[in-house]
């Protein structure tokens, strides 16, 4: 379909919200029309929309996963609603129901579709489709006027025979008319620009102008294509530190192993699986002022993971030969060139916490070790609280039991002081 590529739509990312209504079948054609012009389409299906088209047909046509649920952790934990609307160049709602118009006009956000419309500063093109009495009702007319005032672009509805047997305005505009409206909208600037300065990383803050690289979460080391070695790290502490560093004005790169929590906002997050991938991603993110190794990196990986799924057999269980993974913290701390000024490690221990932490400080040549007790009785692994001790060449400072986000805030504060030579 090369000859259909449109200069306006080529490489544009369209977020398509499909509301409930018989016209939803036309949205499938709309997806094809947008894609053949070079756009990519991510679809969101409302609960009512899913009664008329299936997620499967939308996924097959868009070539992308379809999202339906505001709070789903299985959809894709990395793609929260903010990212979904931030990554789009334009939002299209087709068909738009009277209910969606009412929600949008009043700023309600009780499902994924309405939340996306409220959380975006991107242009939105809406193609209403409803019974003519609903369209002509003064309540709908008020909502349409409000939304036009907010900068939304309406296309249709058309007059015609309706599914309910009546004749009049309420039919969804034809896909090609929607495409034309999308092209026009893409050529006009953002609908709701943020006030100057809002949404930008603070220029002030104790880590303003500094770059911080952080590892977080577990690593997965493959045994074969379907099995892996892992650990219980949730990534909560590392992610909290990334967020706190961003709040303190730093430019933050987070290298995350597989976790079930969303990417922190204001942070560039790279997702990796294995220790070796994590090390490569950290090295690619350097130079940095601070490196914080929070990840629970697997010490060992399987030497020769199976190319196919290993089978049970007469020979009994396979013998897995393990080899040592690179130590990311020690590698970065030992760099001759571009060593971050502050290299911070964590020491999660189940006993003799301080003794082992001191050993790690020396062996890994880092500037600071944050030591904590992860014995099952402590509840730290996966929990929201942590009791830590800061171990450096000068000695030990112990903090009381704190929420992980408070540990993160205090740690960022302490690191900023060290970086500027203000003690701490
Ligand atoms: O030796 P141990 O795993 O207890 O050390 C913990 C510290 O070292 C943590 O900061 C962890 O992120 C880091 N580490 C690493 N690469 C490894 C093992 C641990 O960066 N392969």
Question: What is the 3-state secondary structure of 153-214?
Answer: EECCCEEEECCCCCEEEEECCCHHHHHHHHHHHHCCCCCCCCCCCCCCCCCCCCCCCCEEEE
Segment-wise mean pLDDT, segments of 10 residues, the chain, 424 residues: 74 96 95 96 95 95 88 54 80 97 96 91 94 96 96 94 82 97 87 64 83 98 96 93 95 96 92 97 97 97 94 87 98 95 93 92 96 79 85 94 94 94 60
CATH classification number, 13-185, choose in 3.40.50.1950, 3.90.1150.10, 3.40.630.10, 2.60.120.10: 3.40.50.1950
Q: Whose CA is nearest to atom 6 of ligand 1?
A: 347
The tens digit of pLDDT for each residue in 190-218 reads 656 666 666 666 677 999 999 999 999 99
What 8-state DSSP symbol labels residue 370?
E
The minimum-distance atom of ligand 1 relative to the CA of 325 is 21
Q: What is the pTM of this model?
A: 0.60
Report whether residue 275 contacts ligand 1, using a CB cutoff of 6 Å. yes
The CA angle 304-346-255, to the nearest 5 degrees, is 60
CA distances (Å), origin 214, targets 258, 279, 325: 14, 11, 18
Which CATH superfamily does the domain covering 211-301+321-421 fall into?
Answer: CoaB-like (3.40.50.10300)
Query: Using CB atoms within 10 A of its CB, is residue 59 exposed (0-12), middle (13-18) or buried (19+)?
Result: middle
Distance from the alpha carbon of residue 328 to the mean position of ligand 1, in angstroms:
7
What pLDDT score does 77 carry?
A: 45
- Which pLDDT score, from 0 to 100, does residue 424 have? 47
Q: Nearest 5°: phi and psi at 307?
A: -75, -35
Q: Kindly state if the Cβ of 241 falls inside 6 Å of ligand 1.
A: no
Q: With DSSP H G I counted as helix, E B as strand and the rest as coil, what are the percentages for the chain, rounded to 5?
A: 35, 25, 45
The set of residues, in sequence order, having a beta carbon less than 8 Å from that of 72 and lying 6+ positions away, is none
Q: What are the tokens at 235?
A: 């990534």
pLDDT value at residue 313: 84
pLDDT of residue 79: 55
pLDDT score recorded for residue 84? 78
Domain boundaries, the chain: 13-185, 211-301+321-421
Same CATH topology for 13-185 and 211-301+321-421: the answer is yes
**Active-site residue identified among 145, 164, 180, 226:** 164
The pLDDT tens digits for 54-94 are: 999 999 999 998 988 766 545 554 456 677 777 899 999 99
pLDDT of amino acid 348: 86
| C-beta 297 within 6 A of ligand 1 | yes
Any ligand 1 atom below 6 A from CB of 52: no
Position 408 scores a pLDDT of 96
Active site residue 366: no
């Amino acid at each position: 379909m090369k000859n259909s590529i449109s200069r306006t739509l080529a490489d544009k990312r369209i977020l398509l919200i499909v509301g409930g209504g018989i016209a939803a079948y036309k949205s499938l054609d709309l997806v094809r029309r947008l894609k053949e012009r070079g756009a990519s389409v991510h679809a969101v299906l409302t609960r009512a929309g899913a009664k008329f088209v299936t997620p499967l047909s939308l996924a097959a046509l868009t070539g992308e996963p379809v999202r339906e649920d505001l709070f789903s952790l299985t959809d894709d934990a990395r793609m929260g609603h903010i990212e979904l609307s931030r990554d789009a160049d334009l939002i299209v709602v087709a068909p738009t129901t009277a209910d969606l118009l009412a929600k949008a006009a009043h700023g309600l956000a009780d499902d994924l579709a309405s939340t996306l419309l409220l959380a975006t500063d991107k242009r939105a093109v809406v193609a209403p489709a409803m019974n003519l009495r609903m369209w002509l009702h003064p309540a709908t007319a008020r909502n349409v006027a409000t939304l036009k005032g907010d900068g939304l672009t309406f296309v249709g509805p058309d007059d015609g025979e309706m599914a309910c047997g009546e004749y009049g305005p309420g039919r969804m505009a034809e896909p090609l008319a929607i495409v034309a409206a999308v092209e026009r909208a893409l050529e006009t600037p953002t609908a709701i620009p943020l006030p100057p300065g809002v949404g930008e990383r603070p220029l002030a803050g104790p880590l303003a102008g500094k770059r911080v690289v952080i590892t977080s979460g577990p690593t997965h080391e493959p045994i074969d294509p379907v099995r892996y070695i892992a650990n219980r790290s949730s990534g909560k502490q590392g992610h909290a530190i990334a967020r706190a560093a961003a709040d303190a004005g730093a430019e933050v790169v987070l290298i995350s192993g597989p976790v079930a929590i969303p990417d922190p906002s204001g942070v560039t997050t790279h997702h990796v699986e294995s220790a070796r991938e994590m090390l490569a991603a950290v090295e690619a993110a350097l130079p940095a002022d601070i490196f914080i190794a929070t990840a629970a990196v697997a010490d060992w990986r399987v030497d020769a993971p199976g190319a196919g799924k290993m089978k049970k057999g007469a020979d009994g269980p396979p013998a897995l030969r393990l080899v040592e993974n690179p130590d990311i913290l020690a590698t970065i701390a030992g760099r001759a060139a571009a060593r971050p000024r502050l290299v911070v490690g964590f020491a999660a221990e189940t006993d003799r916490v301080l003794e082992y932490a001191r050993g790690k400080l020396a062996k890994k040549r880092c500037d600071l070790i944050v030591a904590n007790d992860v014995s099952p009785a402590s509840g730290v692994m996966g929990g929201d609280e942590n009791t830590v001790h800061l171990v450096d060449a000068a000695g030990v400072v112990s903090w009381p039991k704190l929420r992980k986000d408070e540990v993160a805030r205090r740690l960022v504060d302490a690191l900023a002081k060290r970086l500027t030579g203000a003690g701490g």
